């Protein structure tokens, strides 16, 4: 199967997976609460519980992909997401609804970006960077495609049938695509992976070094920031005087900025190491959040920097571990990296809600800006560590 077919297949399924899981409560939480009377906080919080389940299974997912490639793992993710969505559709009570999200959590752990990146790394070794970048271009359209679809379906057939429709899409489209478009076993053997890594240049760190701890920390902080703002950006903007329509319009800037930044990265990727993508990512996020907090620039301009930053973050998340530590064991490493990030994504909305409700929008943005600036400092330390490793390698 050609690389273009594999990347396109994964791109379509990533849109469907993200749109029908992570982005689903943004549209359906209100209709579900109105229809059932269940507390809105628990309806939204069920996603956080699903993310915690995803965090628990992610290391095993990475190990499975490392051993046998991603075809069966991703196919299993479509099955679990579909079963969980059926559970949501028929849930007679809030505990049953939460149970559906726990099943979906298994599917998210086995089927979102980290698993897809690991699959590409296992398939293409050190040459996977362009494929990973291309995949994130697809993923940037998940909310753009699925939010309107979810809103239309919820209005036309109700939230339960909307969940059932997404389950049918997982079983009828995503599952066959995984089984037909992905190779039965990864063609990249350890020897080939080692050769690809050697051709790419030295990998100056071992996975247990201080560099790994810096990488884990900065990826986790980035995940925390994006999760907090994905939930609380509109309330923050409204608390600072924007109408709902204006807040939605400002929030809509983020999606195109993500895709635009990824397209630029794809065009220039061959000329630079992914560590510079990571530095650009955290810098863009920090500039955007700090400018929004301090009102240095119009909100739209601040969100342009923030959107570009989180767009590049998705690329850095997949490509930087590959560049730093090499292709051998990459899938397993991605599974390990996913756990703290998913835990952060689960906890950040709750923590953000606590700060926002008690201290207001300005204090919330101040905390987020401080975390973003800390993330820049940690990434700068990661760059220094990497460059020191290169110097040591050149002297050896």
Q: What is the pLDDT of residues 345-365, one digit of tens each?
A: 888 888 888 888 888 889 999
Q: What is the pTM of this model?
A: 0.84
pLDDT exceeds cutoff 70 at 202: no
Two tokens, residue 374: 């800390």
Instruction: Say yes or no to pLDDT of 164 above 50.
Output: yes
Q: Angle, to 10 degrees, between the axis of helix 24-36 and the axis of helix 40-68? A: 140
- Over 90: is that where the pLDDT of 80 sits? yes
- In CATH, what class is 199-395? mainly alpha
Tokens read off for 262: 């990824």
Q: Residues near 288 by Cβ (< 8 Å), separated by ≥ 6?
A: 302, 303, 304, 305, 306, 307, 308, 309
Percent above pLDDT 70 for the chain: 93
Query: Rounded to whole angstroms, how far apart are CA atoms 77 and 338?
Result: 16
> Six-digit token pair at 364?
């919330």
Average pLDDT over residues 360-387: 93
pLDDT surpassing 90 at residue 137:
no
**Does residue 375 contact residue 285 with C-beta atoms inside 8 Å?**
yes
Task: Look at residue 192 in the predicted model and tell me its pLDDT.
Answer: 52
pLDDT at site 297: 77
Among 106, 115, 10, CA closest to 55: 106
In the structure encoding, which two tokens stand for residue 105, read together? 């959590």
Q: Which two tokens stand for residue 370?
A: 């401080």
Domain positions in the chain are 3-188, 199-395
How many C-beta atoms lie closer than 10 Å to residue 395's C-beta?
Answer: 6
Q: Could you tell me what percent of the chain has a pLDDT over 90?
A: 46
Whether residue 392 is predicted with pLDDT greater than 90 in this model: the reply is no
pLDDT confidence tier of residue 84, bands split at 50, 70 and 90: very high
- Averaged pLDDT for residues 116-126: 89
Report the pLDDT value the prediction gives residue 53, as an integer from 0 to 100.
95
Which of 77-86, 253-262, 285-294 is least confident? 253-262
Q: Rounded to whole angstroms, how far apart are CA atoms 140 and 199? A: 31
- What's the whole-number mean pLDDT along residues 1-28? 89
Question: What's residue 186's pLDDT?
Answer: 53
Residue 198 has what pLDDT? 43
Give dist(CA 173, CA 280) in Å, integer.
Answer: 36
Of the two residues 254 and 181, the one the predictor is more confident about is 181
What is the model's pLDDT at position 200?
45
The whole-angstrom separation of Cα 170 and Cα 50 is 17
Give me the sign of the Cα torsion angle 263, 284, 303, 214. positive
Q: Mind giving me the DSSP string for 187-221?
A: ---HHHHHHHHHHH------TTSHHHHHHHHHHHH
Average pLDDT, stretch 44-65?
91
Query: To the nearest whole number, what is the mean pLDDT of the chain?
Result: 87
Distance CA 142, CA 269 (A): 23
φ, ψ of residue 390 to 5 degrees: the values are: -65, -40
**Over residues 124-144, mean pLDDT:** 82
User: Is the model's pLDDT at 131 over the cut of 50?
Assistant: yes
Return the higher-pLDDT residue of 171 and 329.
171
Given a cut of 70, is residue 190 above it in pLDDT? no
Integer Cα distance of 81 and 87 in angstroms: 10
Per-residue confidence band for 197, with pLDDT thresholds at 50, 70 and 90: very low
Nearest alpha-carbon partner for 109 in 274, 285, 391, 334: 334
Q: How do residues 26-35 score in pLDDT, each as one tens digit?
A: 788 889 999 9
- Cα separation, 384 vs 380, in Å, equals 6
Answer yes or no: is pLDDT of 381 > 70: yes
Q: What is the pLDDT of residues 274-320, one digit of tens each?
A: 999 999 999 999 999 999 998 887 888 888 999 999 989 988 998 89
Statement: residue 257 has pLDDT above 90: no
Determine the angle formed by the axes of helices 299-325 and 129-139, rounding to 10 degrees: 150
Say yes or no: do domains 3-188 and 199-395 share a fold: yes
Residue 2's CB: how many other CB atoms inside 10 A?
A: 8
Token output for 156 = 């036309």
To which residue do tokens 């271009």 refer?
A: 137
* CA–CA gap between residue 396 and residue 391 (Å, rounded): 9
Of the spans 140-144, 145-149, 174-178, 348-352, which averages the highest pLDDT? 174-178
Mean pLDDT in residue range 253-265: 84
Fold of 3-188: Growth Hormone; Chain: A; (1.20.1250)
Smallest Cα–Cα separation from 212: which of 61, 372, 57, 386? Answer: 386
């Amino acid at each position: 199967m050609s690389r273009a077919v594999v990347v396109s297949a994964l791109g379509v399924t990533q849109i469907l997976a993200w749109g029908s899981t992570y982005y689903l409560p943004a549209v359906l939480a209100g209709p579900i609460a109105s229809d059932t009377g269940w507390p809105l906080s628990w309806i939204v919080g069920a996603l956080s519980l699903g993310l915690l389940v995803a965090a628990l299974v992610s290391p095993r997912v990475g190990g499975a992909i490392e051993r046998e490639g991603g075809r069966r793992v991703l196919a299993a993710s479509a099955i679990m997401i579909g079963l969980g969505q059926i559970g949501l559709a028929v849930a007679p009570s809030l505990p049953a609804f939460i149970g559906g999200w726990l099943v979906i959590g298994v599917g998210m752990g086995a089927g979102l970006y980290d698993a897809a990146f690991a699959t590409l790394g296992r398939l293409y070794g050190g040459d996977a960077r362009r494929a990973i970048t291309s995949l994130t271009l697809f993923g940037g359209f998940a909310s753009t495609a699925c939010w309107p679809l979810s809103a239309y379906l919820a209005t036309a057939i109700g939230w339960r049938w909307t969940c059932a429709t997404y389950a049918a899409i997982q079983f009828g489209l995503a599952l066959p695509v995984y089984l037909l478009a992905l190779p039965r076993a990864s063609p990249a053997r350890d020897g080939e992976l080692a050769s690809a890594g050697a051709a790419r240049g030295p990998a100056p760190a071992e996975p247990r070094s201080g560099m790994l701890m810096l990488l884990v920390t900065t990826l986790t902080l980035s995940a925390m920031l994006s999760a907090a703002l994905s939930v609380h950006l509109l309330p923050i903007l409204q608390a600072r005087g924007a109408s709902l329509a204006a807040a939605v319009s400002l929030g809509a800037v983020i999606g195109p900025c993500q895709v635009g930044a990824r397209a630029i990265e794809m065009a220039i990727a061959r000329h630079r190491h992914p560590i510079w993508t990571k530095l650009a990512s955290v810098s863009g996020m920090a500039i955007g959040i700090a400018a929004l907090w301090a009102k240095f620039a119009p909100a739209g301009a601040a969100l342009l920097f923030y959107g570009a930053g989180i767009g590049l973050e998705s690329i850095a998340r997949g490509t930087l571990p590959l560049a730093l530590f090499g292709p051998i064991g990459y899938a397993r490493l991605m599974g390990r990296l996913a756990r703290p990030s998913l835990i952060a994504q689960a906890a950040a909305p709750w923590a953000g809600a606590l700060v926002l409700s008690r201290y207001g929008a300005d204090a919330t943005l101040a905390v987020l800006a401080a975390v973003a600036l800390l993330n820049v400092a940690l990434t700068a330390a990661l760059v220094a560590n990497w460059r020191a490793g290169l110097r040591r390698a050149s002297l050896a």
